[in-house]
């Protein structure tokens, strides 16, 4: 008979995966914490996510083992956490594990707690038998249970020490921030030093930063784009384009179905960890769109369109929200869904297979574990020269026809698992990406999709009709878990972007409402940084501030940008002043660790380079705004006079078909009547 535990009642796909383990799993919550206190047992909190390969492995090896489960049930209160649903819980115990394991962390994350939630030991994956220089899982359980029962004072001391270290880490930015009088704390030299620090980690051959494993690094790459726009630096542009070209042609990209994997295990972008996360694709599409404005490279347009096609084919809910992730595994094997034998391709494409295989690096021996990961090692122009192919349009049609056939064949395979929960912050990142892609490409469907997803989120995640409070996660008609800073930060960003492409004051006004709400609920007014959790989260041992960029930008850094932009749109000096205080709080870290503070560094361009505002008037405002939005401009706000979005700006009234006024630091030019003339002024 199949066992069932408390996770059967949860909506998270990851928790549902463990609902039939013989382990007596609890979801994170007061019931489990109270039970640990009542029974005086240590807590095991095991954290992962549905697309985590080693989480699946540890489940099969240990959590489905009846003997191991019996020991866990007897000696521990066992809690399963989906890190994507409760990033606050994950953050606290990840930091504890990294302290115990000399900076090493990851998922599955297994942390052992006192009944009141204080951590005293932890690690990541543990094998069923001693291996990889690691103790077996049962050995860890036995040793910790014995220590808890027989050496309680030592365990208490370890817990107090770990909590002390975590709290101390929170105070590193607690210094008094005062705005310097008569001096500019950020200047072009600061930006240059940040770029030089960042450039030390460039991979000049393969693009990106550092060696294997290789992550996309969208925030530092966005900095390269902005630095090129600000200073005309060609090295910054070259690195940006090299990185995007290599990723767009590499195995990290799904050349049949569209979309990017999370990272590659090699430095050449060939062998991905095959899971596809919504946030990675949102960030990369946004960067591709911003860079397309600079270059008009067809490859970037193609990757944007194909990635959105994948999103709408496989990740879009009927209600208009977007699912979280696709698993790396199918049939228990990582990447099986995506890789090919050459014989399979020949069977599908026949005589067309030779040219296709040459272009996509397909061979008899394979390029990964005797299989083939499709990638493009030689750029299309060079390949066509090598094979004496004259017509690029014909070659593109040939490749599309082949890919379409192989995609149809691949659809017959057993698919990777889908994590179909809908997360507010990740959805808002995608809304922003749609808005950016609409600006770059002018495709009306992208604008419509962005606004529909935004409308869905504002309704589905709201806690009560009259409240601004929101939930974080949504699935099957049920929203749950109070929203975190990142949810609100990315929502405000998406509202600003929606205002930009619509010039509708509804979105900018709502963005301001939420900014004031977040300042009230999350801001530490002494430290000038935001807590990750609001006071409503009562089931955690401490409220942390998250400042570093991880796989996604720091919510604090996004709030810095939101304060800056809304400070301009509403002529609100208090917002700009708070933004400057935030920037000063982390100033030294930005130059020292630019890869971890990429989003902060991007926001600081607005503190250094002159702010420009373009007011568009006349009867052709819509097409003029779209034309201006499609251009690569730094620190430029585009507004129609009708929206009055830039509140402190007085521009001369004009009539006629088109009149454009360019203002720099609130000093305005005479009206011009063409976009080209406005760009000359900019």
What six digits make up the tokens of 382? Answer: 């060079």
Check whether residue 294 and residue 197 sit in a common domain: yes
Do residues 419 and 269 lie in contact, with contact meaning Cβ atoms separated by under 8 Å?
Answer: no
- Which uninterrupted H or E stretch holds 99? helix 87-100
Q: Residue 654: give the domain boundaries.
A: 612-681
pLDDT, tens only, 221-234: 999 999 999 999 99
pLDDT, tens only, 375-414: 999 999 999 999 999 999 999 999 999 999 999 999 999 9
The radius of gyration of the chain from alpha carbons, rounded to an integer in Å, stands at 26
pLDDT, tens only, 136-152: 999 999 999 999 999 99
Whether pLDDT at 436 is above 80: yes
Residue ending a domain, choose from 144, 170, 196: 170
Banded pLDDT at 1 (limits 50, 70, 90): low
In angstroms, rounded to a whole number, what is the distance separating the alpha carbons of residues 532 and 534?
A: 7
Check whether residue 423 and residue 473 sit in a common domain: yes
Number of domains observed in the structure of the chain: 4
Check whether residue 318 and residue 376 sit in a common domain: no
Do residues 465 and 406 lie in contact, with contact meaning Cβ atoms separated by under 8 Å?
Answer: no
Considering the domain boundaries, does residue 182 fall inside one?
no
Considering the domain boundaries, does residue 183 fall inside one?
no
CA 612 to chain centre: 29
Q: Under the phi-then-psi rule, with left for phi > 0, alpha for psi from -120 to 50, and beta for the rest, what region is 173?
A: alpha
Do residues 669 and 681 lie in contact, with contact meaning Cβ atoms separated by under 8 Å?
Answer: yes
For the ranges 85-99, 212-226, 278-292, 614-628, the lowest mean pLDDT is seen at: 614-628
Considering the domain boundaries, does residue 130 fall inside one?
yes
Considering the domain boundaries, does residue 178 fall inside one?
no
Check whether residue 442 and residue 513 sit in a common domain: yes
Banded pLDDT at 650 (limits 50, 70, 90): low
How do 77-82 and 43-48 pair as beta strands?
parallel
Considering the domain boundaries, does residue 328 fall inside one?
yes
pLDDT, tens only, 210-265: 999 999 999 999 999 999 999 999 999 999 999 999 999 999 999 999 999 999 99
Residue ending a domain, choose from 396, 412, 428: 412
How many other CB atoms sit within 10 Å of the CB of residue 414? 9
Nearest to 377 by CA among 241, 300, 270: 270
Check whether residue 502 and residue 560 sit in a common domain: yes
Check whether residue 362 and residue 251 sit in a common domain: no
Check whether residue 300 and residue 219 sit in a common domain: yes
- Which uninterrupted H or E stretch holds 559? helix 555-569
What pLDDT does 177 receive? 59
In angstroms, rounded to a whole number, what is the distance separating the alpha carbons of residues 608 and 190?
A: 9
What pLDDT does 645 receive? 45
In angstroms, rounded to a whole number, what is the distance separating the alpha carbons of residues 137 and 126?
A: 5
Q: What is the pTM of this model?
A: 0.94
Nearest to 356 by CA among 408, 399, 394: 399
Cis peptide before 119 (omega within 30 of 0): no
Whether pLDDT at 134 is above 90: no
What pLDDT does 82 receive? 96
Task: Render 256-311 in DSSP notation, one character per residue.
Answer: TT--B-SEESSTTS-SEE--EEHHHHHHHHHHHHHHHHHH--HHHHHHHHHHHHHI
CA angle 515, 599, 428 (to 5 degrees): 50
Do residues 537 and 482 lie in contact, with contact meaning Cβ atoms separated by under 8 Å?
Answer: yes
Considering the domain boundaries, does residue 176 fall inside one?
no
Residue ending a domain, choose from 548, 582, 608: 608
Check whether residue 567 and residue 664 sit in a common domain: no
**Residues, the chain:** 682
Considering the domain boundaries, does residue 180 fall inside one?
no
What pLDDT does 183 receive? 67
The CATH number that applies at residue 206 is 1.50.10.10
Considering the domain boundaries, does residue 91 fall inside one?
yes
Residue written as tokens 């998250």? 546
Check whether residue 229 and residue 258 sit in a common domain: yes
Using CA atoms, how far residue 371 sits from 126, 248, 345, 407, in Å, is: 29, 20, 12, 17
Do residues 21 and 428 lie in contact, with contact meaning Cβ atoms separated by under 8 Å?
Answer: no
The CATH number that applies at residue 32 is 3.40.30.10
In angstroms, rounded to a whole number, what is the distance separating the alpha carbons of residues 561 and 540?
A: 28
In angstroms, rounded to a whole number, what is the distance separating the alpha carbons of residues 666 and 345?
A: 61
Do residues 487 and 494 lie in contact, with contact meaning Cβ atoms separated by under 8 Å?
Answer: no
What does pLDDT average to over the chain? 93
Check whether residue 467 and residue 407 sit in a common domain: no
Check whether residue 575 and residue 436 sit in a common domain: yes
Full strand arrangement of the beta sheet holding 612-617: 636-640, 612-617, 659-664, 667-668
What pLDDT does 3 receive? 85
Check whether residue 517 and residue 626 sit in a common domain: no
């Amino acid at each position: 008979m199949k066992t069932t535990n408390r996770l059967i009642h949860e909506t998270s796909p990851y928790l549902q995966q463990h609902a039939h383990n013989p382990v007596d799993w609890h979801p994170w919550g007061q019931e489990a914490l109270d039970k640990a206190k009542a029974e005086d047992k240590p807590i095991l909190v095991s954290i992962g996510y549905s697309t985590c390969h080693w989480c699946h492995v540890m489940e099969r090896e240990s959590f489905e083992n009846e003997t191991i489960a019996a020991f866990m049930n007897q000696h521990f209160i066992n809690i399963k956490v989906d890190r994507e649903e409760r990033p606050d819980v994950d953050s606290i115990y990840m930091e504890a594990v990294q302290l115990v394991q000399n900076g090493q962390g990851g998922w599955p994350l297994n942390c052992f707690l006192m009944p009141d939630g204080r951590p005293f030991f932890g690690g990541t994956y543990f094998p069923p038998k001693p291996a990889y220089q690691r103790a077996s899982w049962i050995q860890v359980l036995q040793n910790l249970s014995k220590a808890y029962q027989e050496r309680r004072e030592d365990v208490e001391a370890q817990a107090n020490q770990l909590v002390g270290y975590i709290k101390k880490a929170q105070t590193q930015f607690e210094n008094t921030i005062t705005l310097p009088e008569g001096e500019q704390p950020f200047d072009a030299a600061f930006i240059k030093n940040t770029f030089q620090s960042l450039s030390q980690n460039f991979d000049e051959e393969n693009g990106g930063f550092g060696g294997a494993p290789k992550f996309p690094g969208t925030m530092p790459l966005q900095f390269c784009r902005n630095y090129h726009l600000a200073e005309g630096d060609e090295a910054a542009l070259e690195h940006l384009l090299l990185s995007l070209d290599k990723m767009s042609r590499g195995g990290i990209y799904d050349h049949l179905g569209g979309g990017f994997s999370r990272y590659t295990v090699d430095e050449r972008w060939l062998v991905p960890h095959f899971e596809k996360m919504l946030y990675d694709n949102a960030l990369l599409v946004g960067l591709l769109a911003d860079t397309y404005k600079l270059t008009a490279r067809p490859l970037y347009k193609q990757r944007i369109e194909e990635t959105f096609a994948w999103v709408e084919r496989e990740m879009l809910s009927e209600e208009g929200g977007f699912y979280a992730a696709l698993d790396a595994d199918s049939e228990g094997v990582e990447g099986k869904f995506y890789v090919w034998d050459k014989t399979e391709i020949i069977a599908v494409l026949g005589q067309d297979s030779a040219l296709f295989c040459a272009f996509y690096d397909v061979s008899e021996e394979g390029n990964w574990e005797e299989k083939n990961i499709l990638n493009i090692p030689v750029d299309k122009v060079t390949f066509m020269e090598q094979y004496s192919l004259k017509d690029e349009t014909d070659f593109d049609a040939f490749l599309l026809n082949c890919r379409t056939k192989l995609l149809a064949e691949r659809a017959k395979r057993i698919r990777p698992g889908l994590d179909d929960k809908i997360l507010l912050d990740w959805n808002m990142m995608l809304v922003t990406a749609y808005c950016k892609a609409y600006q770059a490409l002018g495709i009306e469907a992208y604008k419509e999709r962005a606004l529909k997803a935004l409308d869905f989120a504002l309704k589905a995640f709201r806690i009560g009709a009259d409240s601004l409070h929101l939930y974080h996660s949504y699935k099957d008609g049920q929203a749950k878990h109070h929203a975190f800073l990142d949810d609100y930060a990315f929502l405000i960003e998406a509202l600003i972007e929606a205002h930009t492409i619509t010039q509708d004051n509804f979105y900018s006004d709502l963005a301001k409402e939420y900014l004031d709400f977040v300042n009230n609920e999350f801001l530490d007014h002494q430290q000038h940084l935001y807590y990750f959790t609001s006071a409503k989260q009562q089931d955690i041992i401490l409220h942390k501030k998250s400042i570093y960029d991880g796989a996604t930008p720091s919510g604090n850094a996004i709030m810095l940008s939101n304060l800056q932009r809304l400070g301009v749109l509403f002529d609100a000096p208090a917002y700009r002043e708070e933004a400057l205080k935030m920037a000063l709080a982390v100033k030294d870290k930005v130059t020292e660790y630019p890869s971890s503070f990429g989003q902060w560094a991007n926001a600081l361009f607005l503190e250094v380079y002159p702010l420009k505002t373009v007011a568009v008037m006349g009867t052709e405002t819509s097409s003029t705004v779209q034309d201006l939005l499609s251009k690569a401009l730094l620190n430029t706000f585009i507004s129609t006079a009708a929206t009055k979005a830039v509140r402190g700006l007085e521009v001369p009234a004009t009539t006629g078909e088109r009149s454009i006024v360019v203002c720099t630091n609130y000093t305005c030019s005479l009206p011009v009547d063409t976009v080209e003339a406005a760009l000359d002024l900019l």
